Amino acid sequence: MERCMDCNSLLTREEIVCIECGTKVGGDERGVASFGATLVSLLFYASIAALVTSPFLDKGPGVMFCLMISCALLFIMRTAKDNAEKLKKR
């Protein structure tokens, strides 16, 4: 359950605009956060794929480089998820 920040009336999860006073209930912000999280996880899987295939390729990024990128993306992914959770709780 969520509450309107303006008039404190109860809202369902699907409601983006408060039915009582018409205030927007952080729908856009949450959408951007989940889009970013999806994008980062896609990049993460791409870097994992690159990590797995890089030893078999003559050209392309090295294993260490791929490993570094994967770790960095994993970190970003966790941070993005934490942010999304915080937005949901509000």
Sequence-distant (6+) residues with CB within 8 A of 55 are 63
Q: Is 7 in the site for Zn ion (CB under 5 A)?
A: yes
- Provide, rounded to whole angstroms, the least separation between the CB of residue 4 and Zn ion: 3
Stretch that binds Zn ion, among 11-19, 33-41, 52-60, 63-71 (CB under 5 A): 11-19
Candidate list 4, 25, 33, 66; residue touching Zn ion; CB under 5 A? 4
Alpha helices, H only, the chain: 27-53, 63-89
What is residue 66's three-state secondary structure?
helix
Residues that bind Zn ion (CB under 5 A): 4, 6-7, 18, 20-21, 23
